[in-house]
Amino acid sequence: MSTEIANTIKSLRKQYGLTQVETARKAGVSLAFLRELEQGKTTTRMDTVNQLLNLFDYCLTAQPMNHAQS
């Protein structure tokens, strides 16, 4: 999951033409957090991930997992 989040944030940032510095400042997160997140490092600070995603009008949501029925 962290790779998917990392790719989404990096893609959105580039789509909006923002640098990592600009993105971190506008979202109110540390540059180190954004860099680590984009590199796919795991984090338990989902509130901070949501803070960053809110800049692009996105948020994390819980969804039921699709388990194969036997």
Render pLDDT for 28-47 as a digit per residue (tens, 0 to 9).
999 999 999 999 887 668 88
Question: What is the rounded average pLDDT for all residues in the chain?
Answer: 88
Res. 70: pLDDT tops 60: no
pLDDT of residue 19: 97
User: Taking a C-beta distance cutoff of 8 angstroms, is the pair 27, 54 a contact?
Assistant: yes
Query: What CATH class has 2-54?
Result: mainly alpha
Q: pTM for the whole thing?
A: 0.75
pLDDT of residue 63: 76
> What number of helices (H) and strands (E) belong to the chain?
4, 0
pLDDT of residue 51: 92
Which residue, among 20, 25, 16, has the nearest Cα to 51 in the 3D structure?
25
* Mean pLDDT (whole number) for 4-31: 94
